Chains A and B, each alone.
Chain A
Amino acid sequence: MKLYRPVTVLVGLLFVMLGGLTRLAEPEQVYDDSNRVVVKGTIGEELDFSGTTVTVHRMKFARAYLTGDRDEKAVTTNGIYVALEYSTVRGTQDPPNPSAELITDDNTIYAPIGETWGGRIDLAEPGFAIDGAVVFEVNPDDVKGLTLRVRSTPFFTVLTQDVSVDLGVPDDKVARQLMDQATPEYLIPRGVKRVAS
């Protein structure tokens, strides 16, 4: 049997060209992959995150934070802390392991602080809700267009849902006002689990 007939080679070439064509068809997306659907919203809105809902209730600026452990000093910063108080209600679908980050108009990405409480967005068991807070250390001169992104990292490249919450900092003036009202110390609340109502 002849293994490499011209037709076989042609079919191979066709597949290679098809691969190239799909790449051409992909839109020029700079910050997101083409397999991500972003649900956009604002503070107070219940946002769907693959069957789970995420709500950001309020945003607070703080000059220092406390974790609530015994005899612990407040952790201060050269910048400023942003605390987002959220609640999540876990749906029946498998939750896509959320990771939270803040992004600004200058494409600076802020990650949550490295603490047990306030370091991530928590999800409870299906049918249960968690009220908690996630805290970020940010550069006060770079908060224009502050947006929370809750991203999921699926193991395979499947259609993924992300959440993007506009935190309402349209310009530096608003940011300055928010920072003037910053609390001197923020006590990070521990996540409270309750039955979703």
Chain B
Amino acid sequence: MESLDDVIDAMIADRVIHRHRRKWLIALALVVVLAVVIFFTGGWKEKQGRRVDTLDAPVTIEAGRFEVGISKAIIWRTPKTEYSEAKSRLAVEVQLKNIDEEDRTSTRFDSDLLRWVIPGKDPIKAENVTCKEVIGYILVYGLPAESCVVEFKVSPNFSTDQVEIGVLAERYTADSGLLGASEKPYWHNEQAKAVVRVPTTIETEIEK
């Protein structure tokens, strides 16, 4: 048999549930309305497009501790021979200068700092940077710009008349000392600086 206590409990529970029912309903309705509005206005979209300037080659950009000049690009095609497959590579000619006023240190140009930008796809990292036919050439602070070649992989019959090369710039900052890191600033944390439109020609080379 139901005791009086149970009855009172049931009454109190009833009251508690009903007391805020209107607020709950309004909140729920708001969520539904918001969902409908977002759905019909196109939904949450990832931000598309560039936040940096697009420039035309030839151009010289100051990007962090380097001055990067981009002049032209060539797709080198190697026809197939009896012993090797056909292949090609995209070679972008750049002029690199070490302008590291802060550290005045010789350093190599990290090939990660140049990307081949293709709209709608992930940017492609460079394969290597070669100056005077030396891979990983050390650029000296205080000397004039060196003429270098940045290479990207392409499929054998790839062709285009223009490529877009993104230039990233490192920043001279320190890590947070709060986490126990040294508070000395150093070059890191690269961010997009500009995109350069480079006219591209196609040339053929015979394998040595």
Interface residues of A (CB under 8 A from B): 73, 75-79, 106-115, 136-139, 141-142
Contact = CB atoms under 8 A, between A and B. Distances in A.
B140 A114 contact: no
9 contacts: A75-B134, A109-B103, A110-B140, A111-B106, A113-B137, A114-B136, A136-B106, A137-B140, A138-B140
Identify whether the interface residues of B are mostly helix, strand, loop, or mixed.
loop
B107 interface: yes
Most B-side CB within 10 Å, residue of A107, A112, A137:
A137
Contact of B106 (A73, A110, A141): A110
A114 B142 contact: no
A154 to B, nearest CB: 15
Interface of B: 103-108, 132-138, 140-144, 146
Contact of B134 (A107, A115, A139): A115
A113 B104 contact: no
A177 B143 CA distance: 20
Nearest to A110: B106
Contacts of A139: 140-143
Contacts of A112: 138
Nearest to A102: B106
Contacts of A136: 106
Given A114-B138, A137-B143, A141-B142, A108 B104 contact: yes
Contact of B105 (A78, A106, A111): A111
A137 B132 contact: no
Nearest to A79: B143
Nearest to A106: B104
B104 A111 contact: no
